[in-house]
Structure 1
Amino acid sequence: MTATLDPAASSAPEDAGAATLRRPWRPTPERASLLLLLGLTALGYLWTLSESGYANQFYAAAAQAGGESWKAWFFGSLDIGNAITVDKPPASLWVMGLSVRLFGLSSWSILAPQALMGVATVGLTFGIVKKVAPWPAAIAAGALTALTPAAALMFRFDNPDALLVLLLVGAGFSTIRAIETGKARWLVLAGVLLGFGFLTKMLQAFLIVPAIAAVYLIAGPGSFLKRVLHGVYCFGAMLLAAGWWIAIFELVPESWRPYMDGSQNNSVLELAFGYNGIGRINGGDYGGLGNAGFGSAAGILRLFQGVSGGMITWLLPAALILLVAALVWLRKAPRTDLTRATLLLTGGSMLVTGLVFSFMGGIYHDYYVVALAPWIAATAVVGATVLWRHRAGIAARIVLAVTLLASAVWAWVLLGQSDQQPYATLRWVVLALGLGAAAGLAVVARLERFGRGVAVAVLAAAAVSVGIGPAAYAIQTIGTPHTGSIVTAGPYSGGGPGGLGGPGGPVRMQGGPGGQAMPAMPGGQNGGPAGGPNGGQDGGQDGGQGPELFRLGGGGGMFGGDEISDELAEMLRTNAGRYRWAAATTSSTSAASYQLGSGESVMSIGGFNGTAPSITLKQFQEYVADGEIHYYIAGGGPGGMGSFELPAGMELPGNAQLPAGGQAGPGGDRESSVSTEISSWVEENFTSTDVDGTTVYDLTQPKADS
């Protein structure tokens, strides 16, 4: 049962590997297991996928636009008429837009690419671990990645995170290959993938760069100068892969391209280093609405508290313990030891990403933690493999036993958060199985005297004990539709610090079916106990019923988006071919709903949060005079921000502002914005019509006295 790593095998010549690849394919236990893992992952991620509809309508509408307009596809426009982009670069939209163009607009054409990215991520995680561990361990790492609840959520959702995680794991795999072979081209490939990661979700892609740079400088083959030179190649490739699109966007005249949402000066660089960069770290106001006011309180325990804990941390304590222990056992290994290099890469990526998520003072959403899933799984499995190889010594067995015990206890805690069945019973099963397996690990060297099968049984019990909890949460997540922009995984939706319904978590918000939860302002608001009738989130999960912080007007949930009525959709389609935009409305979430519902281009005034100066009143008047906009739809509309009202005596913290279209209550005032100027001008000059509760102005029919 003892597995060994042959250093020579990991540095075999490229020709030998090529010869191996040319041999006829034969089924082996390893290949069969890998195919089974990938097949089950695909089945799970594609299962009932269409029940989530378009999931995040904000990105679905942009994919729709990209499927109809190559200009919208290239720039990442939200609308077919190319008025404004989404507040992210367009790489993930390139994939979805091509899918829509090939297969037509549907839930499957939007979401299936995300699921396939998840399958590829699992395969690459297997590949990383297989370099330094037996194939059953690599299978375990891939399976643990697939079963991470955050992965089961985001690889079935159309946010940019799925592509980002795939690119980052690909960069990690390429780095290991560069260390293994000494070939600069692998490190250059890592740089290219990181660059496209930037074009997916900007600076978050660079969170693993410190680990990649440090690992290659430490463990890369050849002289130090050669390793530095290869690092320069990687950095140059990263800049080119990210910079070509940025250069085109910045150099193209503004009149030829859409406005960059999330910026105040129509600049992708401002978006990258402002709202989506420094603003996410310090909470500063770089995008109009600011970065304050979202997420649980920052701190070292943020990932372990509330919803985030059940989404990602099942194996995080084990990964941290095993990382330190394995590095201690490998302290005398050669500089180029591939096992230690892999641990430094996966563990370093895990630590840097986790610490940034824990302490970032700007917007933090629980689903961000999907970026940790492959690093935690790989670190835990490789670390456990190192200690398993040294199980003849009592110290290694004790560390393994203590780690498994800690994992079982933590799973018992997490499973107890939901206070539902089958989790309330399952937690005791996990605890009992973990305790038994931990005891077996402590004496496994003696148990092996009775045969190798005993050790295999102990390992199997350990694997099952750490996998049951996340698997149960992942299955629940797969079986639950998720829509909107703020989504979570697992049955637990609040009640603890930082979670829904607890201090530092979201508070209740009225305005749509289920009463979506609104994230708390910095410092946290007490949202009350979980399970309130008005706190539903993510397809029916219960959240907290706390004080009414905001009142939402309109028909949708928090940044959610709803289906529009048939009458309104038909109205927008009428003579739509004569106009560049069938309608205009405030906020991108509202515009996305109308565009998806009607299939026609809808202009977003003010972008995602309604505060981007994407258009002036004069420009809007010129568009109307030139007959380029047919209708104006008042209010937040389906899924829009709607009308907010602050309770008496309450003020928004920091630099946070009410979204455009909002009305200040007794707690504070809100400066007039372009969107309100446009709304006022339309109301004064055009006659309104009520369409199924939505106020619509025909901009081709001015009032008689205007």
Structure 2
Amino acid sequence: MHLTLVRLGPFRIFQKALGQQVSWFLGIAILGLISALAYYRRRRQRWFQTSERQNEVLLWTGWLVLTYGFFSIASFFHPYYMIMLAPAIVALVGIGLPTMWQQFFRQHLRWSTFLLPVAILGTSALQAWYVYENYSWLAWLILIAGVTTVALLFVAKDSARQHHWFPVILITGIIGTVIAPAWWSLTPTIAAESAAIPYAGPALLTTASNQGGLGNGTVNQKLLTYLEKNQGQATYLFATTDSGTAAPYIIATGKAVMAIGGFNGTDNAISLAKFKQLVKNGQVRYFYVSGRSSDNEIVTWVKKYGTKVATKKYSQTTSQNFAQTNQTQSTSKQASGTPPNKPTGTKQAGTATGGMDQTGTLYDLSSIN
């Protein structure tokens, strides 16, 4: 995975590497919370006395501040965890935009009149910066739409027929703020992305960038043939410790494969007693202890009481890459190398691509009473 160093600090989340994942509307959210706190303030209340509406704003502000603060200073994290910011951003944009609109046209407070134009211009400029490297034409379109929206706002403000201007203001405003993040959010779906560390962006649309992840690992075809031949009436094709090992086989066969340890193999997804019952009932016959498996009580029990299957029956020197044989992307797309702005923290840990390695051991549990 390509490393993108992201500097720590209060503006870290606005940098391209992370901002393209979550910060498209962050500026509106921040200005929106300021606008909402001012708009819903009772004139006669003291500074520490808050209205019910202000309390709602403070709730989401607390959410935003805590998560924003963490990601501003954290030394390492998977970028998809930044989805934690999304509920607060969405809520504050939804609360703040109507108050900024009201304060612009009704002049609730003189200084608050400028919050809406500043929010639109700032967001348009930020989004144009985000997309310029990939789509320079879109960056200019966003800037023009943002400036046009603000100009129309001031025209409508001084117009005797304000309501006639609102539809065109909304259309240009949407073009200036929604098109780019909407496209970014669609890229994982279009690219059929299944990465273990997912992210969004045009780089996914190249054949070289869509690598790794659950379901893109290797399938040991000899092992698969052996398991399908001997599964019998068992519910599960086999059981293993983690989703990375199980996922390619689930996708390849459509059959159930049990991951007793969840995503990384470290969760207690099922108790030993429950697992024993499944074995006793004939629902689980085979267990694969992969080379990266951790020893938990179920693995220890399997090793102690299970019967090792002869390695020659299922091992092979060359694995078949299931992701490559099921590649559905157009051959006309050319590989462009690792995406330059793939988000990450300040350092990156290694990630497994999933699939069955060649150092594990298969156990037959059918003889256990």
What TM-score, normalized by structure 1, do the two folds share?
0.36
Shift of 1:315: 1.6
Helix, strand or coil at the partner of 2:37: helix
Report the counterpart of residue 310 of structure 2 in structure 1. 687
Distance 1:303 1:449 in 2: 42
Distance 1:477 1:576 in 2: 35
Does residue 699 of structure 1 match 2:364?
Answer: yes
Report the counterpart of residue 293 of structure 2 in structure 1. 660
Distance 1:331 1:630 in 2: 66
Which deviates the most, 336-345 or 622-631? 622-631
Helix, strand or coil at the partner of 1:427: helix
Helix, strand or coil at the partner of 2:238: strand
The answer to which structure, 1 or 2, has the higher relative contact order (CA under 8 A, 6+ apart) is 2
Distance 2:180 2:277 in 1: 59
Distance 1:624 1:451 in 2: 72
Report the counterpart of residue 13 of structure 2 in structure 1. 303
Work out which of the residue numbers 87, 101, 120 in structure 2 matches 1:371. Answer: 87
Report the counterpart of residue 118 of structure 2 in structure 1. 402
Report the counterpart of residue 44 of structure 1 in structure 2. none
Does residue 482 of structure 1 match 2:147?
Answer: no
Shift of 1:538: 8.4
Shift of 1:562: 4.5
Does residue 461 of structure 1 match 2:172?
Answer: yes
Report the counterpart of residue 28 of structure 1 in structure 2. none
Distance 1:304 1:476 in 2: 20
Distance 1:616 1:388 in 2: 60
Shift of 1:433: 2.2
Work out which of the residue numbers 76, 79, 98 in structure 2 matches 1:382. Answer: 98
Amino acid in the other structure paired with 1:323: L
Shift of 1:412: 1.4
Work out which of the residue numbers 209, 213, 226 in structure 2 matches 1:542. Answer: 209
Query: In structure 2, do the counterparts of structure 1 residues 386 and 339 end up closer, same or farther at CA, with 3 Å as the change threshold?
Result: farther
Q: CA offsets, 1:213-262, max 9 Å, x none?
A: xxxxxxxxxxxxxxxxxxxxxxxxxxxxxxxxxxxxxxxxxxxxxxxxxx
Report the counterpart of residue 585 of structure 1 in structure 2. 240
Amino acid in the other structure paired with 2:121: L
User: Do the aligned partners of 1:585 and 1:603 also contact (CA within 8 Å) in 2?
Assistant: yes
Report the counterpart of residue 180 of structure 1 in structure 2. none
1:134-283 aligned within 5 A: none
Distance 1:570 1:355 in 2: 51
User: Do the aligned partners of 1:620 and 1:678 also contact (CA within 8 Å) in 2?
Assistant: no
Shift of 1:426: 0.6
Helix, strand or coil at the partner of 2:127: helix
Report the counterpart of residue 86 of structure 1 in structure 2. none
Distance 1:583 1:603 in 2: 7
Query: In structure 2, do the counterparts of structure 1 residues 391 and 433 end up closer, same or farther at CA, with 3 Å as the change threshold?
Result: farther
User: Do the aligned partners of 1:307 and 1:488 also contact (CA within 8 Å) in 2?
Assistant: no
Distance 1:597 1:353 in 2: 38
Shift of 1:317: 0.9
Amino acid in the other structure paired with 1:415: V
In terms of fraction of residues, the more helix-rich structure is 1
Work out which of the residue numbers 425, 428, 439 in structure 1 matches 2:137. Answer: 425
User: Do the aligned partners of 1:411 and 1:469 also contact (CA within 8 Å) in 2?
Assistant: yes
Shift of 1:700: 7.0
Shift of 1:488: 1.3
1:531-680 aligned within 5 A: 540=207, 542=209, 557-562=212-217, 564=219, 568-579=223-234, 582-595=237-250, 597-598=252-253, 600-604=255-259, 606-611=261-266, 630-633=285-288, 635=290, 660=293
1:99-118 aligned within 5 A: none
User: Do the aligned partners of 1:347 and 1:379 also contact (CA within 8 Å) in 2?
Assistant: no
Query: In structure 2, do the counterparts of structure 1 residues 321 and 299 end up closer, same or farther at CA, with 3 Å as the change threshold?
Result: same
User: Do the aligned partners of 1:400 and 1:442 also contact (CA within 8 Å) in 2?
Assistant: no
Shift of 1:540: 4.0
Distance 1:454 1:365 in 2: 40
User: Do the aligned partners of 2:219 and 2:248 also contact (CA within 8 Å) in 1?
Assistant: yes
Report the counterpart of residue 319 of structure 1 in structure 2. 29
Shift of 1:581: 5.0
Work out which of the residue numbers 420, 430, 435 in structure 1 matches 2:147. Answer: 435
Q: Percent identity?
A: 22
Distance 2:105 2:224 in 1: 64
Distance 2:52 2:296 in 1: 57
Distance 1:432 1:469 in 2: 14
Helix, strand or coil at the partner of 2:310: strand
Query: In structure 2, do the counterparts of structure 1 residues 449 and 315 end up closer, same or farther at CA, with 3 Å as the change threshold?
Result: same
Q: CA offsets, 1:426-478, max 9 Å, x none?
A: 101111221233344356432x1476434653454334312232233234444
Amino acid in the other structure paired with 2:150: A
Report the counterpart of residue 42 of structure 2 in structure 1. 332
Distance 1:374 1:583 in 2: 42
Distance 1:616 1:464 in 2: 53
Report the counterpart of residue 330 of structure 2 in structure 1. none
1:119-134 aligned within 5 A: none
User: Do the aligned partners of 2:234 and 2:285 also contact (CA within 8 Å) in 1?
Assistant: yes
Helix, strand or coil at the partner of 2:265: coil
Report the counterpart of residue 127 of structure 2 in structure 1. 411
User: Do the aligned partners of 2:31 and 2:119 also contact (CA within 8 Å) in 1?
Assistant: yes
Distance 2:97 2:269 in 1: 49
User: Do the aligned partners of 2:195 and 2:214 also contact (CA within 8 Å) in 1?
Assistant: yes
Shift of 1:360: 5.8
Distance 2:267 2:25 in 1: 41
User: Do the aligned partners of 1:572 and 1:600 also contact (CA within 8 Å) in 2?
Assistant: no
User: Do the aligned partners of 1:632 and 1:698 also contact (CA within 8 Å) in 2?
Assistant: yes
Shift of 1:372: 4.0
Amino acid in the other structure paired with 2:79: H
- Give the superposed CA RMSD: 4.8
Report the counterpart of residue 291 of structure 1 in structure 2. none
Amino acid in the other structure paired with 1:609: N
Report the counterpart of residue 470 of structure 1 in structure 2. 181
Report the counterpart of residue 505 of structure 1 in structure 2. none
Shift of 1:324: 0.9
Shift of 1:486: 1.9
Q: Which runs of 5 or more structure 2 residues have no equivalent in the other structure? A: 320-355
Shift of 1:424: 1.7
Query: In structure 2, do the counterparts of structure 1 residues 584 and 442 end up closer, same or farther at CA, with 3 Å as the change threshold?
Result: same
Amino acid in the other structure paired with 1:687: A
Query: In structure 2, do the counterparts of structure 1 residues 391 and 591 end up closer, same or farther at CA, with 3 Å as the change threshold?
Result: same
Which deviates the most, 676-685 or 316-325? 676-685
User: Do the aligned partners of 1:482 and 1:538 also contact (CA within 8 Å) in 2?
Assistant: no
Helix, strand or coil at the partner of 1:608: coil
Shift of 1:310: 1.6
Amino acid in the other structure paired with 2:176: S
User: Do the aligned partners of 2:37 and 2:54 also contact (CA within 8 Å) in 1?
Assistant: yes
User: Do the aligned partners of 1:433 and 1:461 also contact (CA within 8 Å) in 2?
Assistant: yes
Helix, strand or coil at the partner of 1:574: helix
Shift of 1:563: 7.8
Shift of 1:605: 5.6
